[in-house]
Amino acid sequence: MQYYVLSNLGYSVDRVNLIYINKNYIREDELNLDELFIVDDITQQVASKQRQVEQNLIDFEQILALEEEPNIDIGKQCHHPYKCDAYTYCWDKQRNLCHHENIFNIARLDQDKKFSLYKQNIINFSDIKDLSIFNVQQQIQIKACLNQEIIINKDKIKAFFSDVKLSYVSFGL
């Protein structure tokens, strides 16, 4: 996009580089910037995408000219490749999904499973009829929310602490 804007402003862009940190670089006495950064020449790839950029802009203009917003449901595209700017509008304002008691807030539940349940209209915890499709921890979360109860597994906590080795540091003054 930057290439498209600059080129259309009349600038001649000879080269496009993607520069990122070399995570394997280990600094010695002197900082070596040539080793700290990796420079990728992506001029060809960027140039080859220019038609697509132009087409995208035409598409965007057509969408913006519509009287009504496009009827597209939420999906994985809302988070990837980054969180959409319209997230609050689609998820909270339109669908009221930003509260805690819905399938999107179940801990460690796979995204595909979340959207599959959503498509079956199983959205709020109260819509769940079959708890067995969730693992034990997830079932505890759902039950605790539905019953408004606090569940504490004292045996697990005891077992955890019995394995913790306390160490003491003493200072001689």
Which residues make up the interface to ligand SF4 (CB under 6 A)?
72, 74, 77-78, 84, 86-87, 90
By beta-carbon proximity to ligand SF4, the closer residue of 22 and 77 is 77
By beta-carbon proximity to ligand SF4, the closer residue of 78 and 146 is 78
Shortest CB 62 distance to ligand SF4, Å: 16
- Non-local (6+) Cβ contacts of 21 within 8 A are 36, 37, 38
d(CA 152, CA 90): 35
Shortest CB 89 distance to ligand SF4, Å: 7
Shortest CB 158 distance to ligand SF4, Å: 44
The CA distances from residue 78 to 2, 18, 20, 68, in Å, are 24, 26, 26, 20
By beta-carbon proximity to ligand SF4, the closer residue of 69 and 127 is 69
Token pair, residue 46, equals 């960027």
d(CA 93, CA 97): 8
Q: Which residue has the tokens 């929310």?
A: 145
Shortest CB 112 distance to ligand SF4, Å: 16
By beta-carbon proximity to ligand SF4, the closer residue of 4 and 87 is 87
